[in-house]
Homo-oligomer: A and B are copies of this chain.
Amino acid sequence: MQSFNPPVRTLMGPGPSDVHPRVLQAMARPTIGHLDPAFIGMMDETKTALQYAFKTENELTMPVSAPGSAGMETCFANLVEPGDKVLVCINGVFGNRMKENVTRLGGEAIIVEDKWGEAVSIDKVEATLKENSDIKIVAFVHAETSTGAMSDAEKLCAIAHQHDCITIVDTVTSLAGSELRVDEWGIDAIYSGTQKCLSAPPGISPISFSERAIHKLSNRKTPVTSWFLDLNLVMAYWGKGAKRAYHHTAPVNTLYGLHESLVMLTEEGLENTWGRHTQNHLDLKAGLTEMGIGFVVNEADRLPQLNTVWIPEGVDDATVRSQLLNEYNLEIGAGLGDLAGKVWRIGLMGFSARKENVTLCLAALKDVLK
């Protein structure tokens, strides 16, 4: 058994994205204790920077010590009680995963389904809420990583609130990549990942809970099934004040990485980061269009940071992706589910959203498709 020296890739799949050397170097700083006063200070800065990234003043804003899937589960496990009716919007893989969460927790999932590659239909959600006055939660994916479609989180939250529902929103792929305003839009429980547009290494899931969400959590009749994800306990460690109670051992070095990526976000400015994603998307689109490669999602609902495109007819998916990986060290993403073999997912997330990446990707694709 020998040390592992990974190949140096350009990561333009659906995540992880390229990690900046500053962030990688931060990961290698000396490990200190998770109750060290110096570490507590870094935790506070991380929480404040996450509030900035989410555009929220929610006190309960913090990184869960596990990947995005655990962030999703944190939201559902804390907010869904057995018997709760939850409207789940499904327009891709991650809506399906939300439904799995609801039913495993003993909730009842009321499904609003839309075609993969389309945004969630506001009208259908509204109609379903009118028909089912006992729905308590509306859950949807803001940016579907499996299709590249963006849904209108602001409108969906407004409708949910009109029907006295709280909202759970998946922003794994949207946070720091495109417009997202937790407080202004009225998102109640939100989760994301570090390995997409924040360009920190994978393994952490930023979350934020509004007062409304905390109210539902505080009034549960049953304990949260998961001890590890129970926010009543987690907040004793991540909460306010200098005194923190031990809950679990935080992933110290991964949090160094997240912290450094948030420093870089504040340096660039959130709106500038959104703009950079848009600009690189437009450049990529221009090049792909020239090559006759079309997008799965219509222009209005298209995510700049995740470009899902049709594989040209007669071209073999796996052959092209292998060639890009082996000859150009370039990773692009495969399709999932029904879209497998039919589409590629080209990510422009975080540090991957750079002119040189767009240029390399277009040139390499041109070579390989010749």
Q: Which residues of B contact A38 (CB under 8 A)?
A: 6-7
Q: How many copies does the complex hold?
A: 2
Tell whether, in the assembled complex, residue B45 and residue A31 are in contact, meaning their CB atoms are under 8 Å apart.
no
Tell whether, in the assembled complex, residue B1 and residue A29 are in contact, meaning their CB atoms are under 8 Å apart.
no
Scoring A195, A225, A248, A256 by chain B CB atoms within 10 A of each residue's CB, the highest score goes to A248
Q: Which residues of B contact A263 (CB under 8 A)?
A: 1-3
Nearest opposing residue in chain B for A66, CB measure: B66
Q: Which residues of B contact A77 (CB under 8 A)?
A: 226
Binds B, one of A20-28, A109-117, A133-141, A295-303: A20-28
Q: Which residues of B contact A34 (CB under 8 A)?
A: 16, 202
Binds B, one of A99-107, A270-278, A285-293, A362-370: A99-107
Nearest opposing residue in chain B for A326, CB measure: B37
Tell whether, in the assembled complex, residue B28 and residue A331 are in contact, meaning their CB atoms are under 8 Å apart.
no
Binds B, one of A68-76, A155-163, A207-215: A68-76
Name A's B-contacting residues (CB within 8 A). 1-9, 11, 13, 15-16, 18-19, 22, 24-34, 36-39, 42, 45, 48-49, 65-70, 72-73, 77, 97, 100-101, 104-105, 193, 195, 201-203, 223-228, 246-254, 256-257, 259-260, 262-263, 266, 325, 331, 336
Q: List 30 A-B contacts (CB under 8 A).
A: A2-B263, A3-B22, A3-B26, A4-B260, A6-B29, A6-B39, A6-B42, A7-B32, A9-B36, A16-B33, A16-B34, A16-B249, A19-B30, A24-B253, A31-B195, A31-B201, A32-B331, A65-B66, A66-B67, A67-B250, A104-B225, A104-B226, A195-B252, A202-B249, A202-B251, A203-B254, A225-B226, A226-B226, A251-B251, A253-B257
